[in-house]
Amino acid sequence: MNLRLNSEFGTLKAVLMHRPGKEIDRLTPYNKEYLLFDDVPYLEALQREHDAFSNLIKESTGAQVYQLREMLIRVLYDQQILLGLMRESLARSGMVHLAEDILERYSTAECAGILTAGLKVHELRRKLPKLNAGELMEFAFVISPCPNLYFQRDPMALTPGGIIFSSMRMEGRQREADLLRTIFENYPDFKGRINKLYPVEGHDTPPSIEGGDVIILSQKAIAIGNSERTHEKAIYHAAKALLAEGTVERVYEVHLPQKRQYMHLDTVFTVLDENLVLTYPDAMNSVLQTSLYTLKENNGDKIHIKREVLKESLLTVLEREIPHLEILHTADGNPDYAMREQWFDGANVFAIGPRRVISYNRNIHTNRALRNMGVEVLEIPSSELSRGLGGPRCMTMPISRARV
C-alpha cells in the first residue's frame, strides 16, 4: 500500500476509524471542557451511529475499514513498544515508575484499553493493592482518557508527498498522535512504507499542526489552515518538506479566525470533485489572508523556500487551483439554516468518491442542495455523533484512494 493520497475525492479503498469506547464514558459535566467536549454523549447510541457509518462505507465502496483498537493491540504485542507508550502516558501524572507493574498485571488488550480510555487510581488499586498514589486522589486519572479519538482525521494527514504526523495543540490530545504514529510505524501493512514529512528529525517539541487543517487541492497543491490548532511555524516546516520531496509545487497557508467554529480548515470547505467545493459562506468571507510557499532552491543539502503573502481572497486561490470551480454553500446559502447546520459540521462531509459523499442526516438543507448539484448523498444518523462537534470527514482517516 502506497501511503500517499493525491486527492480528497478519489474512490475510497481503505480508511482508518475508531469505534468510540469506554473513553466516552469518562466524560462528565465537570471534566468535559478539560477533555475538549461541549457535551456528554450517550455511549451506546454513539456506538450504534458509528457502526452505521462504518458499515455504510463498507457497503457503498467495498473499502477496507481498519479499526484503531485492533491495530493498536497488534502493535502492542511488541513489549518494548508497549512499555514506551505506557511510560509516556504515565509521565503526565508523574507515575512512570508504575509502567512495569501495569504491564505485568494487565493483558495486551487491557493495556490498549488503558491507553485509549485512561486509568484511575482506584481501578489500578484492584490490581496493585499496595499502590502508593502519592498526592493523587482515588478518582484521579493516572492516565487521562482520549475521548476525541473517534475523530481520526486530526492525528495525522496523508498528502501526495507523504505523511504529516500531527503535533496536537491541546495537551489532552497529544497522546492520540503518539498512538497513531506508533501504529503506522510498526503495523505490518504500513511498516517501512512511510515517507515522514513532519515532525522534522531532531525537533523534540515541534510546533502544533493537526490533520483537519490539511486539504489536498490538486496533485500539485496543498492548503494548510493557520488556525487555533495549527501554528505558522509548523506550516513552514511542513511546506519545506513537501516542496523538497518534489511532488507538491505549491503550499497555501490559509489564515483562519481563531474561533471555535473555524477550528480546522475542513470546517470551512471540503473538496467533493475535481471542480466542486462545499463551503460555509461566512467562513469563506472570514479568511483574512492567504500566503503561498514555493521552492526557491534545492541542491540536496540546501533547501530554500519562499513565502509570498497573496493580495487575493481564498476564493480566487481556489479558482486558480481548481479549473471551472463550482462552489456550493451550506444550506444553499440560507443564512439561518447555514448557521444552524454549520454548528453540526454541514461543510464537513466525507467524500467516498467523485460527487459521492457521506453526510449527517440532520443537515437536511445542505444535503438537498448537494443532491440538486448531482451529488450522491448517503446519510448517517447523527444525534450523538454530532455532539463532539465534528463531521463525517473528521471521523475518517483515508489511507488509500483510487488515483485521479
Task: Show the 3-state SS of 102-138.
Answer: HHHHCCHHHHHHHHHHCEEHHHHHHHCCCCCCCCCCC
Starting at the edge strand found earlier in the chain, the sheet holding 376-380 runs: 350-353, 356-360, 376-380
The active-site residue, picked from 102, 248, 394, 397, is 394
- 249 contacts 218 by C-beta, under 8 angstroms: no
Q: Taking 90 as the threshold, does the pLDDT of residue 99 lie above it?
A: yes
3-class SS at 378? strand
pLDDT for residue 282: 72
pLDDT for residue 341: 63
Q: Rounded CA gap, 135 and 129, in Å?
A: 16
How does pLDDT run across 193-243, given as a tens digit for each residue?
Answer: 999 999 988 777 899 999 999 999 998 999 999 998 899 999 999 999 999
Burial of 360 (0-12, 13-18, 19+ CB in 10 A): buried
Q: Taking 80 as the threshold, does the pLDDT of residue 404 lie above it?
A: yes
Of residues 393 and 174, more confidence is placed in 393
The CATH number given to 12-21+37-63+147-171+195-401 is 3.75.10.10
H or E segment to which residue 74 belongs: helix 68-76
Question: Residue 192: left if φ>0, alpha if ψ -120 to 50, beta else—which one?
Answer: left
**Highest-scoring range by mean pLDDT, 67-71, 133-137, 283-287, 316-320:** 67-71
Scored b (16 or more CB within 10 A) or e, 287-300 reads beebbbbebeeeee
Structure confidence at residue 368 as a pLDDT band (50, 70, 90): very high
pLDDT for residue 312: 85
- From 72, 59, 73, 68, select the one nearest 15 (Cα to Cα): 68
Active site residue 146: no
Tell me if the pTM is above 0.85.
Answer: yes
pLDDT for residue 107: 97
Angle at 306 between CA 302 and CA 309, to 5 degrees: 165
Q: Which three cell numbers stand for residue 243?
A: 516542496
3-class SS at 146? coil
pLDDT for residue 216: 97
User: Domain map of the chain by residue range?
Assistant: 12-21+37-63+147-171+195-401
Q: Rounded CA gap, 177 and 230, in Å?
A: 14
Starting at the edge strand found earlier in the chain, the sheet holding 64-67 runs: 64-67, 12-17, 397-401
Q: Rounded CA gap, 229 and 145, in Å?
A: 20
Phi, psi (rounded to 5 degrees) for 356? -140, 115
How far from chain centre, in Å, is Cα 327? 24
The secondary structure of 293-338 as a DSSP string is EEEEEEETTEEEEEEEEESS-HHHHHHHHSTT-EEEEGGGG-HHHH
Q: Taking 80 as the threshold, does the pLDDT of residue 345 lie above it?
A: no
- 226 contacts 253 by C-beta, under 8 angstroms: yes
Average pLDDT along the chain? 91
Q: Taking 90 as the threshold, does the pLDDT of residue 388 lie above it?
A: no
3-class SS at 147? helix
Q: Rounded CA gap, 216 and 9, in Å?
A: 9
How does pLDDT run across 297-329, given as a tens digit for each residue?
Answer: 887 778 899 999 998 888 889 999 999 999 998
Q: Rounded CA gap, 209 and 165, in Å?
A: 8
